[in-house]
Amino acid sequence: MTDHPPKKPARVPRPEFEVALTDATAIGEVERPLTFGERIVNNEAVQRLTILVGLIVIWELYARWLNNGLLFPTFSETMRTFSKDIANGVLIDRTITSLRTLAIGYALGLALAAVLTTFAVASGIGSRVLSMLTAMFNPLPAIALLPLALIWFGLGTPSLVFVIIHSVLWAVALNTMIGFRSVPETLRMSGRNVGLKGVRYVALILVPAAFPSILAGLKIGWAFAWRTLVAAELVFGVSARSGGIGWYIFQARNDLDTATVFSGLLAVILIGLFVESVIFRAIEAHTVNLWGMQR
């Protein structure tokens, strides 16, 4: 660096200054509410609806072009069958049967998951047991347990409930454990600082702090359960009168009534959409979104 001295630019003198503030009233309100149009475009429900309508239009156009009701009925024909079966109560009966079984299985699955995770939080052994069990059973498809369930519980609701519990339990337990582990140490300490211990500590600190993860587990558990249930109903019609929505689809296939198959599938999808975008959305809006834990 000795042969060429550092090039230091000559300092141009710059005057210091102080000025009065520029008048900013020209932009109007500094904070302005969005217009109605802007809010419509940003609305999630509106966006979802637009996507739905788009899909329906594609379906209708393709089915008309194909013109084969046995392979691919049009949207309008499916809707006719759908509304007919809703009106005569068949589809509603089937759906209620399915949802009742689902509710029992889901509730029992959650209760078991709560017991297992509390046990796992309480002791090192418990946590080892739970992680072993989830590693073993989580990858096991619930449907694969159906034959075993049939041997144990026979043809009927208990078998279905058993496979649903299996599909809910591990997903929820696994996510809850992951959530508990990621609760910040400072938050744990501020809970213990006020003397919280045991079940109260889990309920008042760990559960709300891990709620984003628990909610994800609940969602996965729900989807697994619903899927498993419909599939299990397809495999065996419990009895013609008390079958669920899977049985409704299976029967329609036997009659080569494709429009009814479609309307059954439509019902499965609609229920899925409802649970996801109404029930779970509402829970999210009142919890993790409100608390700023999730965007």
Partner 1 sequence: MTAELLEVNGVTLQYKTPRHLVTATYRVDFLVHQGDRYVILGPSGCGKSTLLKAVGGFMLPAEGSIRIHGREVTSPGPDRMMVFQEFEQLMPWKTVYQNVLFPMKVTKKFASPEAATRANAVVDKVGLSEFRDVYPHMLSGGMKMRVAIARAMALEPDILLMDEPFAALDALTRRAMQRELLSLWNQLGFTVLFVTHSIEEAIVIGSRILVLSAHPGRVRAELDADRLDHNSVGKPEFGILSNRIHTLLFDERHGLHAQGESRA
Chain positions contacting partner 1, by CB under 8 A: 184, 186-187, 189-190, 192-196, 200, 204-205, 208-209, 211, 287, 290-293
Hey, what long-range contacts does 243-248 have (CB within 8 A, 24 or more apart)? 243/94, 243/97, 244/94, 244/95, 244/97, 244/98, 244/101, 245/91, 245/94, 245/95, 245/97, 245/98, 246/98, 247/94, 248/90, 248/91, 248/94
Provide the 8-state DSSP code for 88: T
Q: Which is nearer to partner 1, 64 or 286 (CB)?
A: 286
* Least distance in angstroms from the C-beta of 227 to partner 1: 31
* Least distance in angstroms from the C-beta of 208 to partner 1: 4
Q: Which is nearer to partner 1, 41 or 204 (CB)?
A: 204
Please tell me the distance from the alpha carbon of residue 121 to that of residue 129, in angstroms, as a whole number: 11
Provide the 8-state DSSP code for 34: P
Please tell me the distance from the alpha carbon of residue 168 to that of residue 246, in angstroms, as a whole number: 19
Q: Which is nearer to partner 1, 60 or 284 (CB)?
A: 284
* Least distance in angstroms from the C-beta of 207 to partner 1: 10
The residue type of 104 is I
Nearby residues of 96 by Cβ (< 8 Å), 6 or more positions away: none
* Least distance in angstroms from the C-beta of 186 to partner 1: 4
* Least distance in angstroms from the C-beta of 194 to partner 1: 4
Please tell me the distance from the alpha carbon of residue 186 to that of residue 178, in angstroms, as a whole number: 17
Q: Which is nearer to partner 1, 82 or 180 (CB)?
A: 180
Whether 81 and 266 have beta carbons less than 8 Å apart is answered as no
Q: Which is nearer to partner 1, 64 or 192 (CB)?
A: 192
Q: Which is nearer to partner 1, 21 or 194 (CB)?
A: 194
* Least distance in angstroms from the C-beta of 193 to partner 1: 5
* Least distance in angstroms from the C-beta of 270 to partner 1: 32
CA angle 78, 81, 87 (to 5 degrees): 135
Q: Which is nearer to partner 1, 157 or 287 (CB)?
A: 287
